[in-house]
A and B are shown apart, each in its own frame.
Chain A
Amino acid sequence: MIRLTCPNCGPRPLEEWRYGGETPSVPDSVTDPAARNVDRVWFSDNVDGPVVERWYHLAGCRRWTTVLRDTHTDTVLESRSSDGAGVAAAPGAHPDDGGH
């Protein structure tokens, strides 16, 4: 991935962006509340395939964007604004998610 398309600014070089992490998801198989907290803080799916994640356009519009990226090939499948501007947010994404 060399460029990432910003809903506000168009295709922009990767150096302008700050990676915000995959949107946290704890599997339903983890049921104990304490274990769910541990999982949410530390663990990750680290999928070899499509991942919903957050990117911050630091050197551009300074807004968060939700991106669907295939980690197997490092290519972006979808890029959506998540603050109401542009296209609606991807399913499951919340503006507060992934901004660590």
Chain B
Amino acid sequence: VNEFVETLVGLTWHEPRRAYDVVIIGGGGHGLATAYYLATRHGITNVAVLERDYIGSGNSGRNTTIIRANYGIPESIRFYQHAVELYASLEEETGCWIMHATKGILWLTHTVTGVRAERARALLNTACGAPTTFVGPEEAVALCPQLDPSGAGRYPVLGGSFHHGGATARHDRVVWAYAQGAMRAGVHVLQGTPVVGLVRDGDRVTGVRTPDGTIAAGVVLSAVGGHATVVADWAGVRLPIRTHPLQAFVTNAYAQALGPIVSSTELLVYVSQTARGQLLFGAEFDAQPTYARHTTYPTLQSVARKMMTLLPFTRDLRVLRQWTGSCDVSADFSPILGKTGVDGFLVSTGWGTWGFKAIPAGGEQLAELIATGKTPPLIAPFSLSRFAADHALADQGSTGTR
């Protein structure tokens, strides 16, 4: 993988130092984006990103690459809208082609109560800066001509909200863009370096343990996907997180363009078209937590059947691959960012099924927190302390979490 990536991206590998100002656990999008913004916006380059496998090998390479901000509460909408805007300018900023394409997301509903909810969503999203329009069945078909508005007679499209900023980008290229930018600025990215424990001095976290020895750190950021609670446990931090598997699959290429991303709030499925023309399907996460990344036939069957009722042409496509990623789902379906109550230990977690779309905003805001020591207002609502303070941010604003 390294050789393949290196033909595309200018990555320079470094020998590890014994100590860094900042050590980031997890070489996925969030970890690398945080390192990138630390180096480029704050001049903090004595930074290491530790990845147990290769960069982007975890959930950054397993998600369904959708970027959007049509959430259900103002705090989330503003945060994700910021990410939508940073994504739109990321190619210009980094000079890397991430295959970013703004195509809008059509968020369909099949019930009368759903129509009310989507009207409210369109108003709230627009008011919070994420332009969204309510559309009726005819407008939905105009946006996506392949749509069967009768839903095969079972799930008629009664309306939906069209979120104009919805976009997709190639997830590996996002990881590589941040890695390249960070490494050019002097950040060390250490692949094949698992973290097996934390170094603690009293109540403070002062470094990480790897099989090759300890690395001292002024600040340790856990940007781990999947094992967030395991890493936090080393620091003595409890997290309101359960790790659920989420399955996705991709079909062979479809010759015509599927315009917007299509999602159904009641059927709990969504589909987008990749730059290669393939259709990328996702659904809700499995009910029981597990760290295993098995795929199951019942999920494939269920998602395929639902999508064929909305997009009849998909019945002629073939499934090429099915895979599973691990979602750290927080108890209120919102991310958990920043300080943990333990000095020297920060988290970027709770990304559930909405991590990829948040990468630029999460990285930028955490970099600011690390550089200034102050939690920026945009992510202040997402602190771990919100649960004890009874300020949970219940927001099931994702198809995967209804």
List CB contacts (< 8 Å) of A4-21 with chain B: 13-15, 18-19
List CB contacts (< 8 Å) of B315-345 with chain A: 331
Interface residues on A, range: 20 to 34
List CB contacts (< 8 Å) of B218-240 with chain A: 227, 229-230, 236, 238-240
Q: Kindly identify which residue among B239, B292, B294 contacts A46, using a CB–CB cutoff of 8 Å.
A: B239
Contacts of B97 in A (CB 8 A): none
Whether, in the assembled complex, B242 has its beta carbon less than 8 Å from a beta carbon of chain A, the answer is yes
- Let me know if A46 and B243 touch, CB within 8 A: yes
Q: Name the segment of A34-42, A78-86, A89-97 touching the other chain.
A: A34-42
Q: Name the segment of B66-74, B84-92, B257-265, B282-290 touching the other chain.
A: B282-290
- Let me know if B238 and A74 touch, CB within 8 A: no
Contacts of A35 in B (CB 8 A): 388
- Let me know if B292 and A15 touch, CB within 8 A: no
What is the CB-to-nearest-CB distance from B305 to chain A, in angstroms, rounded to a whole number? Answer: 13
- Let me know if A71 and B291 touch, CB within 8 A: yes
Contacts of A1 in B (CB 8 A): 288, 290, 294
Interface residues on B, range: 20 to 34
Tell me the bound Cα distance from A74 to B296 in angstroms: 12
CB-based nearest B residue for A35: B388
Q: Kindly identify which residue among B238, B241, B290, B387 contacts A71, using a CB–CB cutoff of 8 Å.
A: B290
Whether, in the assembled complex, B213 has its beta carbon less than 8 Å from a beta carbon of chain A, the answer is no
What is the CB-to-nearest-CB distance from B2 to chain A, in angstroms, rounded to a whole number? Answer: 27
List CB contacts (< 8 Å) of B245-290 with chain A: 245, 287-290
- Let me know if B287 and A19 touch, CB within 8 A: yes
Whether, in the assembled complex, B202 has its beta carbon less than 8 Å from a beta carbon of chain A, the answer is no
What is the CB-to-nearest-CB distance from A85 to chain B, in angstroms, rounded to a whole number? Answer: 23
Contacts of A72 in B (CB 8 A): 290-292
CB-based nearest B residue for A46: B229
Binding site for B on A (CB under 8 A): 1-2, 13-15, 18-19, 22, 27, 29-30, 34-35, 38-39, 41-46, 48, 51, 53, 69, 71-74
